[in-house]
Amino acid sequence: MADGRTIVFFPEGAFGPTNNCVGIGNVLRARGHRVVFVVEESFAGRLEAQGFEERLMRLGPPPAVAEIPGQFWIDFIRDTAPVFRKSTIEQLGEFIAPTWSALVDGARYVEPRLRAIFDELQPDAIIEDNVVGFAAVVTAGRPWARIVSCNPAEVKDSRIPPFSSGYPTSDRREWPAFLEEVWRTHDELWSGFDAFMREQGAPGLGSGPLGPEFIHDSPFLNLVLYPEEADYRRATPLGPTWHRLGSCVRSTTETWPLPESLAPGSGGRDGALLYLSLGSLGSADVGLMQRLVDILGRSLYRVIVSKGPLAAQLRLPDNMTGEAFLPQPAIIPQVDLVITHGGNNTVTESFHHGKPMVVLPLFWDQVDNAQRIAETGFGARLPAYTVEADGLTAAIERLLLDRKLGSRLAALSAHLQSNPGTVRAADLVERLARTGEPVTN
């Protein structure tokens, strides 16, 4: 393409946002655009192997000893897993605020490197998929887009429960206390980051009765990743630069054949085929994973298990198969039901393929996804650490036997697959890169 543009993707250093951006980037690259990914050093080579350019950065000083892949998350779970057993309002001070603090520290640390990258590349558009803002993006003098690949409660509204609360939309009694605790635990952190943004030449960060903001909305283009059928109803509609991506599932040629041991009837098991994944963080809690595996091992279900970074410590019974990391986009279409931690990537992929979900949330927007899926009837929410065998299997069976739900999910899947979010996003980003003007709906 003679007029191909340079488009830079800057996703959070996690597989969900990165994979979403890869799906969009693949479409843009096929159209002749130069697509560059800004990624943490731990991701070095992963995007290059998929045909993209990379620019590497760090969000903190290099360690004194060489990093072992996956060790950070293993240590993280070891130190923080007890907090995940607590209520979401207790998590605010013990987990959510410290996490924001680490993200803010990273944004400060990487600022000079990001400026150097953008100065070198001179991109026609920058696409950011992060929960925390970066002054270098806002002040680069380039059109930029924000992707919200968390639960849409991240974009606050008076009719939506507070982000990371997991509270129901129909009962507001606990909302004020939660928001008061948000401000108590986050105010000083937000004030410092707001001052930093202003010092770097960026606009100040928003704040109000619904809580502090740690990222700017883009004046050019904002993309929210959630199907309308499961989304919240807002008191204030999103502005004209906001566009919906119902899902953003990357196309893949990767296949994953079902092992013969899990074929229907094998070993006398004819039960439904399930997929169990608690994400890279949840699966690092071997005790939690083993308990769920043991419960499902006593059932007639056939189960595919994403075992995570400590896969060697997990013991699977005969009705299961699994590996440390699995090609999820190739597996979800094959199964009857997904058991998930409620990460937005797995949730929207399950919607995309029309699969009911049992959600066992741990933290962050997982609790919001779990609650929203339960109250819209697309699945069930259960407590990850205290769910009993009877409760888990009863929820699975109820969802599998619900024909009305099956029809709803099939219709939702058909709608999402007929209007791929990757293509829609690529159209919008391409327009932004060509015109440099706000993309309004």
pLDDT value of residue 71: 58
Question: Which range has the worst mean pLDDT, 40-49, 167-176, 358-367?
Answer: 40-49
- The per-residue pLDDT for range 119-151, each reduced to its tens digit, is 999 999 999 999 999 999 999 999 999 999 999
- Give the type of residue at 170: S
The predicted model gives 391-401 an average pLDDT of: 97
Q: How many angstroms separate the Cα of 72 from the Cα of each of 13, 76, 79, 298? A: 12, 6, 11, 33
User: What structural domains does the chain harbor?
Assistant: 6-249+420-435 (3.40.50.2000), 260-418 (3.40.50.2000)
Residue 70 pLDDT level (bands cut at 50, 70, 90): low
Alpha-helical runs (H) found in 283-361: 286-297, 328-331, 344-352
CA–CA distance, 291 with 298 (Å, rounded to integer) = 11
pLDDT value of residue 267: 64
- The per-residue pLDDT for range 419-438, each reduced to its tens digit, is 999 999 999 999 999 999 99
Question: Which range has the worst mean pLDDT, 73-77, 333-337, 434-438?
Answer: 73-77
Please provide the average confidence, as pLDDT, over all residues in the chain.
Answer: 93
Best CA proximity match to 155, nearest among 192, 97, 210: 210
Question: Which range has the worst mean pLDDT, 48-62, 256-270, 287-301, 392-406?
Answer: 256-270
Q: Are 247 and 225 in contact (CB under 8 A)?
A: yes
Residue 1 pLDDT level (bands cut at 50, 70, 90): very low
19: enclosing H helix or E strand: helix 15-30
The predicted model gives 164-169 an average pLDDT of: 98
pLDDT value of residue 69: 53
The predicted model gives 155-164 an average pLDDT of: 97
Given a cut of 80, whether residue 32 has pLDDT beyond it is: yes
- With tokens 């204030």, the residue in question is 236
pLDDT value of residue 314: 94
Cα Dmax for the chain: 67
- Give the type of residue at 9: F
pLDDT value of residue 308: 87
Q: How many angstroms separate the Cα of 207 from the Cα of each of 23, 137, 159, 191, 223? A: 33, 20, 17, 10, 21
- Give the type of residue at 366: Q
User: Which residue has better confidence, 308 or 223?
Assistant: 223
> Can you name the residues that pair with 221 across neighbouring β-strands?
145
Given a cut of 80, whether residue 72 has pLDDT beyond it is: no
Residue count (the chain): 441
Neighbours of 123 (CB within 10 A): 23
CA–CA distance, 53 with 35 (Å, rounded to integer) = 7
Q: Are 309 and 329 in contact (CB under 8 A)?
A: no
3-state SS assignment for residue 431: helix
- The per-residue pLDDT for range 249-283, each reduced to its tens digit, is 877 777 899 998 898 876 656 789 999 999 878 88
pLDDT value of residue 64: 78
Q: What percent of the chain has pLDDT over 70?
A: 96
- Tell me the CB-side half-sphere exposure of residue 333, using CA atoms within 13 A: 14
- The per-residue pLDDT for range 172-219, each reduced to its tens digit, is 999 999 999 999 999 999 999 999 999 999 999 999 999 999 999 999
pLDDT value of residue 81: 77
CA–CA distance, 319 with 260 (Å, rounded to integer) = 11
CA–CA distance, 76 with 226 (Å, rounded to integer) = 28
Given a cut of 90, whether residue 73 has pLDDT beyond it is: no
Given a cut of 80, whether residue 74 has pLDDT beyond it is: no
